[in-house]
Structure 1
Amino acid sequence: MSRAVAVCHGPFGRVSIYDLDRPMVVHAHREAHLIFFLEGSQGLVTVNDQTVRVDPFMGVAVNPWEPHNFQPEQPGSFGLFLVVYLKPEWLAKQTMSAPGSLVFPSSELVVTRELEAWRDQAIDMLLSRHSELNLAPVLMALALASSEPIESHLASSLLHLTSESALDRRVLRARRLLEQYPSHEGALVRVAREAGLSRAHFFKLFREQVGVTPTIFANTVRLDAALDRIVLSNDPVTSISHSLGFSGQSVFTRFFTAHMGMAPRDYRRVLRTVGLPQSQASHV
């Protein structure tokens, strides 16, 4: 079964080393996403219908909200990967630019000597026993070496497309409901009904305006809420499962594993944080 080898959360987002032997469902992240192969069985990542083989020479870059999935090249065989998730607002703060001003021009990411050096430094830090991990400069260097700045007028245009003011009021209402109530599974259907639209029509409108299907958006919100509870609280997994509206812990564990590759207890077992509030009691 897939497992987490090292996990660190911080203001930058999160960075992990995963040993993966199972596929994940199609999903998306709010963060910019980088994947590097380390050893073992190589992997296949599909981003917007383009499949990239993750190997010693090629990594994967995924822009925020781009749907993607992962599967091992040899089913059932373990592969070790460095997986990075960087918050757009953190990247913008580091570069003194608008969120979204750095983009990955292609999901195919050639592993240059520069990228290899920063990747290896991140791995060394994650696997070290030091209590203080100064990961931020290393992760910023990885992001800059993987991305390209876009022109200011294009950045403004892209920001306009994703801003709340640009969304249909019915889509905006549905999105806000999902953001506020991650466990409210009926939000989209209810808003569609109140708007006088069929479920199919409303879901199409949502995907056109938000960029992902309502299901992927809802799952992303729910997963983020779960990660926040796992990282920032000492709540047991059973409590987290109940608060997020899952019918049982086993259902929550299947959901988490399908999106993250490993069970929530395994993720929490190796978790470290940098610059985040610490819970006062041990995890259960």
Structure 2
Amino acid sequence: MHQETPIWIVTGDFGRATVNVTDRALVEHAHQQFNMLFMLGGAETVFRSGCDDLPLDCSSVLLFNPWVPHLKHANSGERTMILSLVIEQDWIDRVLEAQGFRTGLRFPHRREGLTPLVQRAAQRLAGTISKGVLDNGEDPERPLVELIDAVVEAYIAPEAATVAANGPPIDFRIRKALLYIHDHAFENPRIDEIARIVGLSRSHFFEQFRRCVGASPRHYIDHIRMRAAMHWLSTSERTLVEVADELGFGAHSNFTRFFAQHMAVSPSEYRRQTSAVA
């Protein structure tokens, strides 16, 4: 039985900032946004991306570009306090422009050493979130901007930065699949069925989808469902049963398990602890 997870969540145009204390595993998933992870205290924990284990400790930061799949291993003992930022690409581009960088840059490495400036900015942001004061004051986004500024300066140096590639042209069958997924994501469509509709074998569809989009079809569908779930939980009065039903879960318990496997917290706790920055 898991202990109740202390968690503080702030959402806004920038995306989502979360401080939580957890020992839970997270299933492999991918974000359309940037995901930045900072350890604030407790035990070292380990994430995994591809074939690489990525320890998150007091001397490191994890930086995942959009659509890079990653998971978290369960802790073997003590829990970890983590600051997680899920930041929209256009918001990052505005920060880059303000610093004189070209837009569309990407982190060159998934794990970097934690600099003193980034560490102080992360602790300052985490403190304002956990005290519930990020949405007060004249400039509610200032602690977040200061951290992103420090991250960009430390880890996206012009000489080391990579530019987001436009990628290969999207196959018309994958374009058709994307339209179908967006129309039917809340029905949790089967990958085999999508492949059949667009006229590809399952293996060829999976390969083409990852090549064109950057994420697997399952990660893409799960991202859409999770994004809708978090939006409804934080902005509507829908009950958990209504949200679960709307997203195509056969039972409320299935939705709760799915949500916790992605967020390390139950949907009801997420709703209680989420506040928005205007």
TM-score (norm 2): 0.88
Is 1:7 aligned with 2:13?
Answer: no
Q: Which runs of 5 or more residues in structure 2 are unaligned?
A: none
Percent identity over the alignment? Answer: 25
2:150 match: 145
Cα distance, 1:84 vs structure 2: 0.8
2:79 match: 78
Answer yes or no: is the 8 Å Cα contact 2:177–2:198 preserved in 1. no
Shift of the 5–185 alpha-carbon distance from structure 1 to 2, 3 Å rule, reads closer
Answer yes or no: is the 8 Å Cα contact 2:7–2:20 preserved in 1. yes
1:236-275 map, 5 Å: 236-275=239-278
Answer yes or no: is the 8 Å Cα contact 2:5–2:22 preserved in 1. yes
The amino acid that maps onto 2:7 is V
2:35 match: 33
2:61 match: 59
Is 1:132 aligned with 2:160?
Answer: no
**Secondary structure, counterpart of 1:183 in structure 2:** helix
> How far apart in 2 are the matches of 1:111 and 1:102?
20
**Secondary structure, counterpart of 2:112 in structure 1:** strand
Answer yes or no: is the 8 Å Cα contact 1:178–1:184 preserved in 2. no
Shift of the 172–104 alpha-carbon distance from structure 1 to 2, 3 Å rule, reads same
> How far apart in 2 are the matches of 1:239 and 1:30?
25
Answer yes or no: is the 8 Å Cα contact 2:121–2:150 preserved in 1. no
The amino acid that maps onto 2:148 is A
Cα deviation per residue 1:135-171 (whole Å; 9 max; x = unaligned)?
Answer: 52332332333341669xx74x61x227xxx211111
**Secondary structure, counterpart of 2:259 in structure 1:** helix
Answer yes or no: is the 8 Å Cα contact 1:30–1:65 preserved in 2. yes
1:187-206 map, 5 Å: 188-206=191-209
Deviates more, 1:33-42 or 1:137-146: 137-146
1:102-181 map, 5 Å: 102-130=105-133, 131-132=135-136, 134-146=139-151, 147-148=155-156, 155=163, 158=165, 160-161=166-167, 166-181=169-184
Is 1:209 aligned with 2:212?
Answer: yes
Shift of the 238–94 alpha-carbon distance from structure 1 to 2, 3 Å rule, reads same
Give the length in aligned residue pairs: 268
Answer yes or no: is the 8 Å Cα contact 1:4–1:266 preserved in 2. no
1:281 match: none
> How far apart in 1 are the matches of 2:72 and 2:140?
25
Cα distance, 1:95 vs structure 2: 3.3
Shift of the 140–47 alpha-carbon distance from structure 1 to 2, 3 Å rule, reads farther
Answer yes or no: is the 8 Å Cα contact 1:17–1:83 preserved in 2. yes
TM-score (norm 1): 0.86
> How far apart in 2 are the matches of 1:51 and 1:208?
23
1:93 match: 94
Cα distance, 1:76 vs structure 2: 4.9
Deviates more, 1:214-223 or 1:177-186: 177-186
Could you say what the CA RMSD is over the residues aligned between the two structures, in angstroms?
2.4
> How far apart in 1 are the matches of 2:20 and 2:258?
17
Deviates more, 1:130-139 or 1:220-229: 130-139
> How far apart in 1 are the matches of 2:272 and 2:189?
33
Answer yes or no: is the 8 Å Cα contact 1:89–1:99 preserved in 2. no
Answer yes or no: is the 8 Å Cα contact 2:192–2:202 preserved in 1. yes
Q: Which runs of 5 or more residues in structure 1 are unaligned?
A: 276-284
Cα deviation per residue 1:12-44 (whole Å; 9 max; x = unaligned)?
Answer: 001011111111111011111111111222210
The amino acid that maps onto 2:143 is V
Shift of the 136–103 alpha-carbon distance from structure 1 to 2, 3 Å rule, reads farther
Answer yes or no: is the 8 Å Cα contact 1:173–1:191 preserved in 2. no
> How far apart in 1 are the matches of 2:217 and 2:266?
24
> How far apart in 1 are the matches of 2:176 and 2:10?
34
> How far apart in 2 are the matches of 1:13 and 1:99?
21
